[in-house]
A and B are shown apart, each in its own frame.
Chain A
């Protein structure tokens, strides 16, 4: 019988939540790495017991952990993230140029074909890759050549938080950076281009349609249609039908088009999910009602999903990496909140249950569908 394993990163450790295919009863394991910030954990899609975790604190810096047994035991592996050559500079808050400085790993994306190959998105924004199971990391420096000198951190830091690997084209990778925008390579990471045409940021940028500088919060793709991308921007939910060459807005009837995560149904490439947040200065749901919104038309025509979610006095946030789907039928969808709740739906969002209610603030969730 199938099972689901959720890998939950929080402000104070990692948790592993497991259930059988019914997804009604959950076992909670953790905290692993208690007291450390776990920005992200993710398993290899071809060896699901191989899991990588980003572990850090402001006190003691960055660690990377690797498990070869599904999260039962862990080994500290390589944590040297050295920018290629002379790191150079990017824009600082005061408009001066500031040296690139490594702060932490935000996101780990294992290869679709090799469990020893993993991409790491870091702050200050850059992309690293390991080909030896995270023993050593090398930067793909071409990304920072894509107008990196013009990138400028937002309040949350200049982080590379999204890495999408095109399953139909091993040379194509998409990344997104806050607050620089989205970028694409078509030559396996050697050269990169900004893909931000169609984005409008009138309240964040002096040139609202600038080539770089947009605060992209998350992008998502369905593996069956890798040229179709969905984006939750600072404000605006966007869609591209040509691999990011041009974006158009699909916010339509959302109560707010500000938010952080966006994800795609495992079996319906045109069914997408967002969690509207009131505004950039009020990071909580509009009207104190925690609502996931689902569009079955690839954007626009949004419906609120509320059954089982708090509909009064709810003032949590859902961060950009804190939503995931499993690949069972029906599709399961999960999200975690800054209040420490992990909500699960075993019916594509129609109804929800809290798997746990009192974890530390949830930073990330990944779902593994196990045989």
Chain B
């Protein structure tokens, strides 16, 4: 199972209190993880990536294994530790200064 940590606002929308676990078919990439996330929690459609362009929303970041993967291809394989469930995939709301 893939472990995904959501930011507070998205946990509220999804109605979950903790990280979510997703069954991802095939290769584990940003795209397949978010596809599985949106399938499991339809209310999150459009909150992580733009519904029309399927691109990451500009103020959303993807972290895993202490790396910023935000600018990786959505079809690049995620780290093996994410794919095995040893490490979570973090969806983060970007810092906003102030």
Which residues does A use to contact B, with CB under 8 Å?
A: 35-36, 57-63, 76, 79-80, 82
Whether, in the assembled complex, B47 has its beta carbon less than 8 Å from a beta carbon of chain A, the answer is yes
Partner of B9, one of A60, A62, A76: A60
Interface pairs (27), CB distance under 8 Å: A35-B8, A35-B9, A36-B9, A57-B9, A59-B59, A59-B60, A59-B93, A59-B94, A59-B96, A60-B7, A60-B9, A60-B13, A60-B47, A60-B57, A60-B60, A61-B46, A61-B47, A61-B50, A61-B57, A62-B46, A63-B43, A63-B47, A76-B13, A76-B43, A80-B46, A80-B51, A82-B52
Chain A: minimal CB distance from B50 (Å): 8
Measured between beta carbons, the chain A residues less than 8 angstroms from B7 are: 59-60
Q: How far is the CA of A58 from the CA of B50 in the complex (A)?
A: 12
Q: Which chain B positions have C-beta within 8 A of A61?
A: 46-47, 50, 57
Q: CB distance A79 to B46 under 8 Å?
A: yes
A sample of 13 more A-B contacts (CB under 8 A), given A59-B57, A80-B51, is A35-B8, A35-B9, A36-B9, A57-B9, A59-B9, A59-B59, A59-B96, A60-B9, A61-B57, A76-B13, A79-B46, A80-B46, A82-B52
Instruction: Tell me the bound Cα distance from A61 to B7 in angstroms.
Output: 14
Q: How far is the CA of A80 from the CA of B46 in the complex (A)?
A: 9
Query: Shortest CB–CB separation between residue B17 and chain A, in angstroms?
Result: 15
Does residue B20 face the partner (Cβ distance < 8 Å to A)?
Answer: no
Give every chain B residue within 8 A of A60 (Cβ-Cβ).
7, 9-10, 13, 47-48, 57, 60, 93
Please report the C-alpha to C-alpha distance between residue A234 and residue B21 in the assembled complex, in whole angstroms. Answer: 51
Distance of A60 Cα from B48 Cα, bound (Å):
6
Among residues 33 to 76 in chain B, which have CB atoms less than 8 Å away from a CB atom of chain A?
Answer: 43, 46-48, 50-52, 57, 59-60
Shortest Cβ distance from residue A124 to the other chain B in the assembled complex, whole angstroms: 13
For the complex, would chain A's binding face be called helix, strand, loop or mixed by DSSP majority? loop
- Of B7, B8, B93, the most chain A CB neighbours within 10 A belong to B93
What's the dominant secondary structure at chain B's contact region? loop
Q: Are A58 and B59 in contact (CB under 8 A)?
A: yes
Cβ distance B59 to chain A, nearest Cβ, rounded Å: 4
Chain A residues near B57 (CB-CB < 8 A): 59-61
Q: How many positions in chain B have a CB within 8 Å of any CB in the partner chain?
A: 18
Known contacts: A35-B8, A76-B43. The answer to whether A63 contacts B13 by CB under 8 A is yes
Residues of B within 8 A of A80 (CB): 46, 51
B40 → A minimal CB distance (Å):
15
Query: A residues within 8 A CB of B59?
Result: 58-59
CA distance A82 to B50 in the complex (A): 12
Q: Which residues of B have CB within 8 Å of A59?
A: 7, 9, 57, 59-60, 93-94, 96
The 6 closest A-B pairs by CB, nearest first: A60-B47, A59-B59, A59-B93, A76-B43, A61-B46, A58-B59
Q: B92's closest neighbor in chain A, by CB? A: A59
Q: How far is the CA of A82 from the CA of B48 in the complex (A)?
A: 18
Give complex CA distance A35, B12 in Å: 11
Q: How far is the CA of A59 from the CA of B51 in the complex (A)?
A: 14
- Cβ–Cβ < 8 Å partners of B48 in chain A: 60
Measured CA separation A308–B51 after assembly (Å): 48
Output the nearest chain B residue to A36 by Cβ-Cβ distance: B9
Specify which chain A residues have a CB less than 8 angstroms from the CB of B46 in the assembled complex: 61-62, 79-80
Nearest CB of chain B from residue A67's CB, rounded to whole Å: 16
Question: Could you tell me the distance between the alpha carbons of A61 and B51 in the complex, rounded to whole angstroms?
Answer: 10
| Assembled-state Cα–Cα distance A369/B58 (Å) | 41
Cβ–Cβ < 8 Å partners of B50 in chain A? 61
User: Bound complex: CA of A62 vs CA of B9, how far in Å?
Assistant: 12
Min CB gap B86→A, angstroms: 28
Q: Hey, which chain B residues are within 8 Å of A58, CB to CB?
A: 59
Considering the complex, give the chain A residue whose CB is closest to the CB of B43.
A76
CA distance A76 to B59 in the complex (A): 22
Q: Report B27 CB to chain A, min CB distance, Å.
A: 26
| C-alpha spacing A60/B96, complex, angstroms | 13
Contacts of B8 in A (CB 8 A): 35
